[in-house]
Amino acid sequence: MRRVIYILSILFSSNFVLAQPAPDFTITDTQGEQIQLYPDLLDQGKTVVLKIFFTWCPPCNAIASQTETLYQSWGGGNNDVEFISLSDKSADVNTMVANYKMNHGLTYPGAGSDGGSLQAIQPYIGGTYGLFLGTPTFVVIAPDGTVNFDPRGPNSQATLDSVSTAIAATGAVMPFVNYTANGHVQTMSDTGVYEVEITIDNIDNINPITDIDGNFSFSSLLATDQSYSLTANKDNDSYLNGLSTSDLIMISQHILGVDTFTSPLQLIAADADRNSKITTLDIIWLRRLILNFDTELSNQPPWIFVDSNYIFNNPTKPYNEVYNGTATIIPLNPTEPPNIQFTGIKIGDVNGSVDPDF
């Protein structure tokens, strides 16, 4: 009972003191620059994220590069948010913090004990804002001084997600980044496909089209907290392009088990009626195209494009992964280099004879 009362008293105390604004502090960082919390940052409308750490702390080292990624996603100090790392060890002087930053590629300010870190973090490790659970601990301070102490998750990424959410709650806006990407669209035989239209989800008025070699590029401002994806289509091609009786023979041999398809792309190409299996009915629909009884397939577009880097969970039955969009969408992360390559599947063309420049 006494332990329960003690825990409740801590919780009550924490809820009460969270209303206290962050006290001002002044540090001298590893670059010799003096930083004062309110005049230099909060009063300028910036949200400040303190990372309490020490240089030989294993979890601090493990999370270091991820904090830099988060820092850059919030503008790298050039927009609404600034990060500061502050050591909680007297032995951790500025030269050691500078080496720590260099080893992990950190660009945000940091200070050791001789730079004033111990005085700056005292309210946060002393229980003023809640129970200090050790390093690393993050403190998010809004421009009005409001403190969000120790946003935390079950692992490093979850903790940084919580920090990012706490930053957004202060009114800070994640900046857009100028994103340029190049991509390529090829056939199953690795030949570039001409005039494929690329659609970028959540971006209007940007629809690059591949050139004669199957290459495309685009540039746009992207929000780093927004998800994007790319799809490809080529609906202006004839269904007869690449389709011949040779393809029908190969499909017949697959059905009879004489020479079965081993490529998931061939299986998709042979599924003319989009019913997720290869039967003689597919041959009938494709033969009707060759004989000009029909000019198109009712359920299948002339081309389907899949992510060239996609690995099928079930290569012998790839239909659902393609038809539900899992294999045909390329996710785009604005904070990472793109790897954009589509492979085009010409429906009916199982032998790869399509003219990609048609």
**Residue 2 binned pLDDT confidence (cut-offs 50, 70, 90):** very low
State the Cα angle at 35 between 31 and 38, rounded to 5°: 165
**Residue 19 binned pLDDT confidence (cut-offs 50, 70, 90):** low
| pTM, entire model | 0.65
Owner of token pair 């793109």:
338
Tell me: pLDDT of 11 over 50. Answer: no
Q: What is the pLDDT of residue 17?
A: 38
Query: H/E/C letters for each residue in 75-129?
Result: CCCCCCEEEEEEECCCCCCHHHHHHHHHHHCCCCCEECHHHCHHHHHHHHHCCCC
Q: Which two tokens stand for residue 9?
A: 């008293």
Q: What is the pLDDT of residues 31-67, one digit of tens each?
A: 999 999 999 999 999 999 999 999 999 999 999 999 9
Q: What is the pLDDT of residues 199-230, one digit of tens each?
A: 988 787 788 999 999 999 999 888 877 788 99
> 2-169: what fold?
Glutaredoxin (3.40.30)
**Residue 16 binned pLDDT confidence (cut-offs 50, 70, 90):** very low
Write down the mean pLDDT value for the chain.
Answer: 92
Residue ranges matching CATH 3.40.30.10 in the chain: 2-169
Q: What is the pLDDT of residues 61-101, one digit of tens each?
A: 999 999 999 999 899 999 999 999 999 999 999 999 999 99
Q: List, in sequence order, every residue forming a beta bridge with 52; answer none if it has no partner.
A: 86, 137
Q: What is the pLDDT of residue 1?
A: 40
What does the buried/exposed string (b/e) look like for 87-97 if buried means 16 or more CB atoms within 10 Å of the residue's CB?
Answer: bbbeebbbebb
Tell me: pLDDT of 163 over 80. Answer: yes
